[in-house]
Structure 1
Amino acid sequence: MQQPTIDLDMPQQLTLYLHKLSPYSHRIELALAEANVKYKAHQVDLFNKPTWFAAKVNPIGKVPAITYGGPDVDPTEPSSLSFKLAESNVILQFVAELYPESGLLPKDPVERAKVLFFMDTVDRHFDKPGNEWMYGRTESYEGYLKGVEMIQGLLSESGEFAVGDRYTIADACIAPLLSRLKITYETDIGAFPVGQGTKLGGELKAPKYAKFMKYAQAMLERQSLRDTNDEAYLADTWKTLITERRV
């Protein structure tokens, strides 16, 4: 499908297709909130996906996805004149570059590289082993803890942000995963053996993880996350999908 040409210097409509359960959708919500961007949000039912979504927005049918530009239309009838984009980290970078005044992506090439490397590390070494353990595909959370150590080693000296001295898309990339980690070790909900979630929470209290936990707490307390997070919904849904159905 050929994408239309969009004048990026002109104000354009932006629609985010998301689902509350998806941490990858949540990444985009955080970036848009931090950039103070007005946009439309449309919830896509992941358990009964509408046919128009794959046909008109994202051919692989996954969220998040966005439409940018074109006429301001009903999200269920996206315009052929709008630009379509999927994959959370690609969208994060697009949003950061679309709104450079937000500071979501540093101008300095070295700092930009640090942000992108942090995001890649999150996906490869934190999110992936975390999912493997939470969904019962591996019996141990050791790989997850190794990811925690890797992330901790990349954090800025102050430990307040992932890179540098302000919030970037690196923080938006990991913050939803930190929220879900907190739910996991507080509720022990997951496809892992009973008690492992609580045990992981105990291990994370060790001094060796202090910098990571300080950073995680700062992200959890940030207004953008508090405004877009629904722990009760996530916990209830996980209990159904992971613990009871073992999906």
Structure 2
Amino acid sequence: MPQLTLYTAKVCPFAQRAEIALAEVGADFKRYEIDLSNKPEWYAPQVNPASKVPALAYGGPDVPPDEPSPESIKIPESLVLLQLIPELFPESSTLIPKDPIVLAKARLFIESFSNTFIPAYIALLFRGEEGAEDKLRAALDTVIQARKLEGKKYAVSDEFTIADAAVVPFIARAELLLAEDLTKAEAPRTSKFIAEVKADAKYKPFWDYFDLLKDRESFKATWWPDAITSAARSRLAAQ
């Protein structure tokens, strides 16, 4: 297998998608932490012109991560990597369903989540918008209904797939930061909201699903709550 280097950040839910995939396939790779508030000058020109994480350097000579080789192929974007990584290790995980219809359903599940949960997550956590709680409740309903329709253990399958790996970083951060009131909304608005949603029997299927996801070893190995809460406190203090 050609060398792999992942440029990532503990605080970034998009980056955690790629880290979960690498953990699921048991890949041997170099991990390089990018400080998102102070990115290295070489990162954008040599790794990802968009200056975002995650990005994967594939192939080329075995060099230090902070001296990326022009001979390696640099591949950004979390959803691209979430599918590429298991394709590089086709016998190592169930992330990519072998049934093309199930794979299509996984992609649709990710698309739905991206269009509902993530915008509501951003609106509440980073903007404190009025009405964001209703949007987040609606997003939870969407996840519940999608899983109910499939009737599987995970999102679209009885196996853990890219659909599950794509969503768990965002659900985990929402639960953590809302409960700690580490959001743009005035405390205790979000901690009260998350407590109400968890106590509401209507949303039990959603939290049961999340319990399954956060019990994966790949999630546990790539989850840094202390780094996430510390970054949130620093961001709020700066504002």
TM class, shorter-length: over 0.9
* 4+ long deviations beyond 6 Å: none
Contact 2:11 2:224 in 1 (8 A): no
Length-normalised TM-score, structure 1: 0.90
1:76 equivalenced with 2:66 (yes/no): yes
Q: Distance in 2 between matches of 1:136 and 1:80?
A: 39
* Residue pair 1:178, 1:220 contacting (<8 A) in 2 also: no
Do the aligned partners of 2:8 and 2:55 also contact (CA within 8 Å) in 1? yes
The counterpart of 1:231, out of the listed 198, 201, 225, is 225
Query: For 1:112, which of 85, 103, 108 is the aligned residue?
Result: 103
Matched to 2:141, the amino acid is: E
Contact 1:115–1:163 under 8 Å retained in 2: yes
Q: Within 5 A, what are the aligned runs for 1:216-227?
A: 216-227=210-221
2:119 to 101, 111, 128: 128
Q: Does 1:26 align with 2:11?
A: no
Q: Equivalent residue for 1:52?
A: 42
Q: Can you list the C-alpha shifts for 1:48-77, whole angstroms capped at 9, x where unaligned?
A: 111211111101100000111111111112
Q: Which amino acid aligns with 1:197?
A: T
Q: List aligned pairs for 1:1-247, cutoff 5 A.
A: 11-101=1-91, 102-136=93-127, 138-140=129-131, 141-155=133-147, 156-158=150-152, 160-201=153-194, 202-241=196-235, 243-246=236-239
Q: Please, what TM-score do these two structures have when normalized by structure 2? A: 0.93
Q: Distance in 2 between matches of 1:89 and 1:144?
A: 22
* Structure 1 residue 137: Cα displacement: 5.1
**Superposition deviation, residue 96 in structure 1:** 2.2
Which structure 1 residue ranges, 5 or more long, are not aligned? 1-10
Identity, in percent, stands at 34
Q: Given residue 151 of structure 1, which amino acid in structure 2 is its aligned partner?
A: V
Answer yes or no: is the 8 Å Cα contact 2:47–2:57 preserved in 1: yes
- Which residue identity does 1:232 align to in structure 2? D
Post-superposition Cα deviations, 1:83-138, rounded to whole Å, max 9, x if no partner, equal: 11111001111112222221211111110101111111222211122111111252
- Aligned 8 A contact 1:65 1:85 in 2: yes
Higher RCO (C-alpha under 8 Å, 6+ residues apart): 2
Q: Distance in 1 between matches of 2:222 and 2:100?
A: 30
- The separation in 2 between residues aligned to 1:152 and 1:12, in whole angstroms, is 40
Say whether the 8 Å CA contact 1:65–1:87 is kept in structure 2.
Answer: yes
What is the alpha-carbon root mean square deviation over aligned residues? 1.4
- Structure 2 stretches lacking a partner, 5+ long: none
Q: Quote the Cα distance in structure 2 between the aligned partners of 1:227 and 1:89.
A: 20
- Paired AA for residue 2 in structure 2: Q
Are the aligned partners of 1:16 and 1:40 in contact in 2 as well (CA < 8 Å)? yes
Cα distance in structure 2, aligned partners of 1:245 and 1:163: 41
